[in-house]
Amino acid sequence: MSSSDQQTATANVTKKGDREITTERHLAAPPERVYAAFTDPELVPRWWGLESSETVIDEMDVRVGGTWRFVEKTEDGEGTAFRGVYRELDPGKRVAQTFEWEGMPGHVSVDTITFEAEGDGTRAIGHTIFHYAEERDGMIDAGMEKGLNQSYDQLDRLLAEGA
């Protein structure tokens, strides 16, 4: 893999200000297909989460005001859950939602991901806002970048299958 291929195969994660994170990642599919992968309860479990775990959709009501809850189960059967509320859905263009890890209730971020056409693919641009700098830094320290990149690698494989 060339260095330019490697660069496009890793999410660029950047701290912005004292409470924000931005991410960018190129995906080899048009925005409509990438949006579908983020909003279709049949597709999300095939790419979301760590490679060593299984994602189970407990709830996914894809509409503004609808809630979602995903449980990430490890090989030993242990699970950790994440949940949120959809705030904005613009097909093929944007998803905005809240995000909360149930292991730290009350620490809710707002995630927005925009899908921009880029050549034959899509540039996925994420923007996450936290209440406090400590929440943002805790998310990064907990391995957010590793998990994000594993999820995107799995999404690449799913999109290559034509999903």
Helices (H) and strands (E) in the chain, counts: 4, 8
35-54 average pLDDT score: 96
| In contact, 125 and 113? CB cutoff 8 Å | yes
State in Å, rounded, how far the first CA of the chain is from the last one: 24
pLDDT, average across residues 93-103: 95
pLDDT band at 51 (very low <50, low <70, confident <90, very high): very high
What pLDDT does 25 receive?
A: 96
| Domain annotation covers residue 4 | no
Q: Is residue 139 part of a domain?
A: yes
Question: 122 in a domain, yes or no?
Answer: yes
Confidence at 5, pLDDT banded by 50, 70, 90 = very low
User: DSSP 3-state assignment of 154?
Assistant: helix
Instruction: Pick 1 or 78 by higher pLDDT.
Output: 78
pLDDT for 7: 39
Domain count, the chain: 1
pLDDT at 82: 96
Return the closest-CA partner of residue 94 out of 117, 71, 120: 117
Query: For 8-12, which contacts have Cβ atoms below 8 Å and span 24 or more sequence positions?
Result: 9/153, 9/156, 10/149, 11/145, 11/148, 11/149, 11/152
In a domain, 134, yes or no: yes
Q: Does residue 17 fall inside a structural domain?
A: no
Give yes or no for residue 1 having a pLDDT over 70.
no
Please tell me the predicted confidence (pLDDT) of residue 3.
34
For residue 56, the domain's CATH number is 3.30.530.20
Q: Which domain holds residue 105?
A: 22-160
> Which pair of structure tokens corresponds to residue 81?
């859950």
On whether residue 142 sits in a domain, the answer given is: yes
- Residue 46, C-beta contacts closer than 8 angstroms, at least 6 positions apart: 154, 158, 163
| pLDDT score recorded for residue 23 | 95
Confidence of residue 150 (pLDDT cuts 50, 70, 90): very high
Whether the CB-CB separation of 99 and 128 falls below 8 Å is answered with yes
pLDDT for position 139: 85
- The per-residue pLDDT for 161 is 94
Q: At what angle do helices 31-39 and 144-160 cross, to 10 degrees?
A: 120
7 lies in a domain?
no
Residue 1 counted as domain residue: no
